[in-house]
Amino acid sequence: MKVYCNYHPTKPALWMCPACNVYYCEHCIAKNVLQVYGVAKDYHVCPKCNARAKQLALGNVIEPFWKRLPKIFLYPFHLRSFIFIVVLTLVSSFLGLIPFFGFWIRLIIWGLLVKYSYAALKETASGRLIPPEITSETFSSDSWIALKQFAMYALIFLVFWKVVQVAGVLMGGLFLVLVLLLIPAMITVLVVTESLIDACNPWIFARMAWRIGWGYLLMYLFLIFLLGAPIALAQYIIVLLPKSLHIFLFSLAGNIYTLISYHLMGYVLLQYHEEVGWEVYLEDYMPTEKKSSEEVAASSPLRRVDILIQDGQIDEAITFIKNETQGAITDINLAERYYKLLKLKQLTTEFLEHCKVYLSLLIQENQAEKVCQVYSECVVKDPNFIPNPANLFKIATFLDKGRNHRAAVTALNRFIRANPKSPLVPKAYFLAANIMHEKLNASKKAAEVLAILIKKYPAHDIVSHAEDYLKRISVN
């Protein structure tokens, strides 16, 4: 029976806190760093009580293969594996037609495909559910595996031929049906043990199939259906296309089937790893190549804060953020949580100090509406509130664009008073005069501001524009 996370009820749990008796998924569990003989190692702890968490069986998070079939069918269409398959198929289909050399070319291509498929099976069985990279290491490791499979098929054929000679065609047919049923188990044993002898040992491969149980029969049924896919394509679709493409398309369908089949066998081994004695490590489990935006955003401090908030431990959450960041918050999501917590607890001094950091992060993300909202709240709490000088000028432009023109002029005046030596001061004067004249109908005041600008900064580039603008105001 699966156990689910207490905070994400749809996500299976991977960890449990023995002290709190609370279950956590991979997004909620926290990590601490432990120094072991000078080497930093991560260990998982409860976000609530900081006690060492107990790891649950990986099988709790592994989805049954019959629920994952759409993803299994799409496995070969990952960019790197699909390009690899297409290239192999092109070489095999066209160079394979060369007399004499064509046979050897096709044999080499078959060997490369089988080797890559074995690598895919092994990666999948270890919990890495994306196709292996196309590297020399992928093809050099276990380099004899393709020959071992070829030898396994040759041995099966020899035994079949011997059974036909000794016991007749009927018994030979029954033998072949039984062997075909057990070939997936033989291939799996060959991958696990890398031993041809073990792969051909009935006691070993039959026992593996027995341990998997009815799941093995269901996998075999899907493999049979998959085997029929290239044949159906050839009969009903490929024949309708130009003859020059027939060999290529049929080979492509067969190669895709091969990779899907090995991936499916690997996933069955992953799902039943406890039953067959195959070791899978949690740190190797990688269901996707890239984390989702939700996972990226859920950094360890943030998820611990969220759990404390959900449990109503507001003060503990604030204390944790203080201790964890020492005021240097760079994650905008964590900064937002801290902003809301300080506002909730009405910690005005800390709130205003943190808002300087939060406003910087919001401006970096160009979140104009939220910048205006946070700044307005700060000014209400402290009319003399002054954030970072460059940020204050940017806030004034956001306020102006948001049609809060009076607040924009006030922010510009505050910027000028707080930073008289800033190179942005002349622009602040000009922008304030523009807002006064164009949007607040305060042309007389705008003319006074322009006059101050021209007098204080006669050599500045903006003065010529200020003089022209002042003439237009005077005419009007």
Tens of pLDDT, residue by residue over 107-128, are: 888 888 888 998 899 889 888 8
Question: What proportion of the chain, given as a percentage, has pLDDT over 70?
Answer: 86
Judged against a pLDDT cut of 70, whether residue 22 lies above it is answered with yes
Vertex 130 angle, CA 124 and 131, to 5° = 85
In sequence order, what are the residues at sequence separation of 6 or more whose Cβ sits closer than 8 angstroms to the Cβ of residue 230? 250, 253, 254, 257
- 382 and 352 in contact (C-beta within 8 Å)? yes
- Which two three-digit tokens encode residue 421? 């030596």
- 4 and 10 in contact (C-beta within 8 Å)? yes
Closest CA to 435 of 465, 384, 401: 401
- What rounded mean pLDDT belongs to the chain? 80
Judged against a pLDDT cut of 70, whether residue 39 lies above it is answered with no
Over residues 93-100, mean pLDDT: 74
Q: Could you tell me how many residues make up the chain?
A: 476
Tell me if residue 430 falls in helix, strand or coil: helix
Q: Please report how the helices 348-364 and 368-381 are oriented relative to each other, as an axis angle in degrees rounded to 10.
A: 160
Other Cβ atoms closer than 10 A to 471: 11
Other Cβ atoms closer than 10 A to 285: 17
In sequence order, what are the residues at sequence separation of 6 or more whose Cβ sits closer than 8 angstroms to the Cβ of residue 172? 160, 161, 163, 164
How far is Cα 410 from Cα 423, in angstroms, rounded to an integer?
19
- Band the pLDDT of 38: cuts 50, 70, 90: very low
Tell me if residue 4 falls in helix, strand or coil: strand
DSSP letters for 364-393: HTT-HHHHHHHHHHHHHH-TT----HHHHH
* Structural domains in the chain plus CATH codes: 15-60 (no CATH), 65-284 (no CATH), 296-475 (1.25.40.10)
Tell me if residue 33 falls in helix, strand or coil: strand
Q: How many CA atoms lie within 13 A of 266 on its CB side?
A: 27
- 96 and 78 in contact (C-beta within 8 Å)? no
- Which two three-digit tokens encode residue 370? 């939220």
- Band the pLDDT of 332: cuts 50, 70, 90: confident
Tell me the pLDDT tens digit for each residue of 384-432.
888 877 788 888 888 888 888 888 888 888 888 877 788 888 888 888 8
Which amino acid type is present at position 355?
C
- 461 and 430 in contact (C-beta within 8 Å)? no
For residue 20, what is the DSSP state?
T
How far is Cα 375 from Cα 361, in angstroms, rounded to an integer?
13
Q: How many CA atoms lie within 13 A of 92 on its CB side?
A: 23
- Which two three-digit tokens encode residue 150? 């070829």
- Put simply, whether the predicted model's pTM sits higher than 0.85 gets the answer no
- Band the pLDDT of 299: cuts 50, 70, 90: very low
Closest CA to 50 of 26, 25, 22, 14: 22
